[in-house]
Amino acid sequence: MSSVARITTITARSEKSFEDAVHVGINRANSTLRGVSGAWIKEQKIAIENGQVTAYQVTMEVTFVLDD
């Protein structure tokens, strides 16, 4: 059986943690894409205000298999 996959880049943000930002991004990808099969975290960033971390952001490449 052959398959073809596509990769799309998404960015997700959370006020809790990097892990939560990943979950937010994957949950969103699963709600809009069919056949999500994996993800690669390309980048992690934090937002800082007044010396305090206020948000965690991840940029990821999500792989999904295209329909036949």
CATH code for position 15? 3.30.1660.10
Distance, in Å, from the CA atom of 61 to the CA atom of 22, rounded to the nearest integer, reads 11
pLDDT of res. 49? 97
Instruction: Please tell me the total count of domains within the chain.
Output: 1
**The pTM is what?**
0.88
Q: In what order do the strands lie in the sheet with 5-14?
A: 5-14, 52-65, 36-49
pLDDT tens digits, one per residue of 15-54: 999 999 999 999 999 999 999 999 999 999 999 999 999 9
First to last CA, the chain: 11
Domain that holds residue 20: 5-65
CA atoms within 13 A on the CB side of 24: 17
pLDDT of res. 17? 98
